[in-house]
A and B are shown apart, each in its own frame.
Chain A
Amino acid sequence: MSDQNHRPPNINITPEEYQELAKKMTPKPTILKNIILAFLVGGLICAFGQLCINIFVQLGLAREDASTATTAFLILLGALLTGLGIYDEIGKYAGAGSIVPVTGFANSIVSPALEFKREGYVMGVGAKLFTVAGPVLVYGITSSIVIGIIAYFLR
């Protein structure tokens, strides 16, 4: 058998043309459906929160305390639903609707806690607890400090 230098067959498309083609053929996210579902589920969670506040007020808590109690209760609920494997199913349909409320924050802390327990409590849970929520905390806290300083000088 001969072994000459054969080259090329090369595929007949440049990377630029290919990227164009791939972009054209990649299915678009179903934005309208996502927005509606996020609105409905997010709204439902918030309405449920309001219901909790009202109930706590009825039970005799001060307005301020009632909303703190509600936040704690929603966090508990988000954590529980994450542990039961239900919250990620809700998130699949609701998207931002279930990420933005405080229940979503609970989900983003509890899911790595569950996930990395097998790597131990120090290097697993301890080190990985904020893999999802970390960026939110870092930039959330930083921006609130910056806004706080600006507000201080504007007053």
Chain B
Amino acid sequence: MDLKRIGNQTVVFTNPSVILSSYSVVGPMEGKGPLGKTFNKVWPDTINGNPSWEVAESKMMEEALEGAVQESQVNKNEIDYLLAGDLLNQIISSNFAARTMGIPFIGLYGACSTMALSMAVGTMLIDGGFARHVLVGVSSHHDTAERQYRLPTEQGGQRSMSSQWTVTGAGSLLLGRSGKGPRITAATIGRIIDFGETDTNNMGAAMAPAVADTILNHLHDLKRSPEDYDLIISGDLGILGLELAQQVLKKNGLYFNNFSDCGVLIYDKSQDTHAGASGCGCSAVVFAGHILDKIKAGEYKRVLLVGSGALHSPTSALQGESIPAVGHAVVIEG
């Protein structure tokens, strides 16, 4: 059998998966942002009548997963795997959402890179002949993340200038073997890069080298240049991280005029998030809405989505450990 792996870290699929449908659910703040109209559903508030924020997050993911299944009109019995992940301890939002879905479930944790990771793994399952359809989905929630990683939400303090705002949102895609729609044609799984950043309020700076490393290896493995893409978009580097990643890649002789970041696009300046957005939901809802719309409209022919994840925990951060980061890339072609 021919190896599909090329170069250091990349796989090129012989049977690319087709993105049959997508669905995104967001909170009110994301709904008011510049991409507000591209989301399928906007909740009126972040709890939406649920008993806790944690329940709300898993319900939000459930809505996104059900939404994608319904849009595709594929029978649930023909979906062989659900791949999902989120930011909470033991990925509970995904576990509880999977409980109601009744589809064989593989939980993934790549922090905020989980959407790109699940798209890559999902396509591997399809390309390998292990699945007819794979449902992928991720979620994040501002208030559950604050509770777990930072301080009580009503505590009155000032956020650091480099800190990012966790997106309340869930995004889902249904991948299939055949059909009409954009295809996932290649993937580059990232390695962990840790350049010693210890400030958990500066995750953009922690993740930028990992994203740069993945982009560099991706382009090298496929012998492509930045111009081969209409858009290269990272998950949630934020304003500072995006700038840093570009600076780092410049040192390798790579210049971009098509490099953007989901965490920069989802909020506008008046929303005062400081360095932009973060969270699993960030790249998921921006991709499921805005980017897929543009691919379907023919505006983008080939897009590189690089999910970025900061893989620390509150415990490791308190113990003074630096932040291990990762970038996973998938190529989507219209």
Residues of A at the B interface (CB closer than 8 Å) are 1, 3, 6-7, 9-13, 15, 18-19, 21-22, 25-30, 34, 82-83, 85, 87-92, 94-95, 98-99, 104, 107-108, 110-112, 114-116, 118, 131-132
B145: shortest Cβ distance to chain A, in Å? 13
B160 touches A11 (CB 8 A): no
Interface residues of B in 174-210 (CB under 8 A from A): 193, 195-197, 202, 205, 208-209
Task: Give the chain A neighbours of B251 by CB distance below 8 A.
Answer: 11-13
Contacts of B151 in A (CB 8 A): 111, 131-132
Instruction: Given contact pairs A13-B209, A27-B162, A82-B154, enumerate 20 new A-B contacts (beta carbons under 8 Å).
Output: A1-B2, A1-B3, A3-B5, A9-B8, A18-B195, A19-B197, A22-B205, A22-B208, A26-B240, A88-B153, A89-B156, A91-B158, A92-B158, A104-B156, A107-B154, A111-B152, A111-B154, A112-B152, A115-B153, A132-B151
Query: How many A-B pairs fall under 8 Å by CB?
Result: 126
B212 CB–A CB distance under 8 Å: yes
CB distance from B158 to the nearest CB of A (A): 5
Task: Check B3 against A3 for contact (C-beta < 8 Å).
Answer: yes
Q: List 18 A-B contacts (CB under 8 A).
A: A1-B2, A1-B4, A9-B220, A11-B249, A13-B248, A18-B209, A26-B202, A28-B161, A29-B161, A88-B154, A89-B156, A91-B155, A91-B157, A91-B158, A92-B156, A92-B157, A104-B156, A132-B151
With contacts A11-B248, A25-B243 taken as known, whether A118 is within 8 angstroms of B155 at the C-beta atoms is: no
Q: How far is the CB of B153 from chain A (nearest CB, A)?
A: 6
Chain B contacts of A21 at CB under 8 A?
A: 244, 247-248
Contact with A along B277-294 (1 / 0, CB 8 A): 000000000000000000
How many Å lie between the Cα of A52 and that of B329 in the bound state? 61
On whether the beta carbons of B217 and A9 are closer than 8 Å, the reply is: yes
A95–B2 CA distance with the chains assembled, in angstroms: 61
Asked if B147 is an interface residue, CB under 8 A from chain A, the answer is yes
Contact status of A132 and B240, CB under 8 A, knowing A1-B2, A9-B220: no
The distance in angstroms between the C-alpha atoms of A95 and B161, with both chains bound, is 13
B6–A1 contact, CB under 8 A?
yes
B42 within 8 A of partner (CB): no
Residue numbers in B under 8 Å from A7 (CB-CB) = 8
A32 CB → nearest B CB, Å: 14
Question: In the complex, which residue of chain A has the Cβ closest to the Cβ of B153?
Answer: A115
A7-B8, A27-B240, A118-B52 known; A98 and B152 CB under 8 Å? Answer: no
What A residues does B3 contact at CB under 8 A?
1, 3
| B80 proximal to A (CB < 8 A) | no
CA distance A132 to B152 in the complex (A): 8
Q: Residue of B at shortest CB range from A113?
A: B152
Interface of A is mostly: helix
We find that the number of chain B residues with CB closer than 8 angstroms to chain A is 45
Secondary structure at the B interface, as helix, strand, loop or mixed, is loop
Chain B residue contacts of A83, Cβ below 8 A: 154
A6-B221 in contact (CB<8A):
yes
Inter-subunit contact A115/B152 (CB<8 Å):
yes
B213 touches A10 (CB 8 A): yes
Q: Are A22 and B252 in contact, CB atoms less than 8 angstroms apart?
A: no
CA–CA, A6 to B221, complex, Å?
A: 9
Could you tell me if A111 and B153 are in contact, using CB atoms closer than 8 angstroms?
A: yes
Q: Is the CB of A15 within 8 A of B156?
A: no
A131 partner residues in chain B, CB cutoff 8 A: 151-152
- Give 5 nearest A-B pairs by CB, closest first: A91-B156, A115-B152, A111-B154, A111-B152, A27-B161
Tell me the bound Cα distance from A116 to B156 in angstroms: 16
Let me know if A26 and B205 touch, CB within 8 A: yes
- In the complex formed, the residue of A with least CB distance to B211 is A11
Query: Cβ of B51 < 8 Å from any Cβ of A?
Result: yes
| Contact call B52/A88, Cβ cutoff below 8 A | no
Q: State the CA gap A128–B115 with chains docked (Å).
A: 33
Which residue in chain B gives the minimum CB-CB distance to A12?
B251
- Tell whether B74 is near chain A: CB-to-CB under 8 Å: no
Within 8 A of A (CB), among B135-156: 147, 151-156
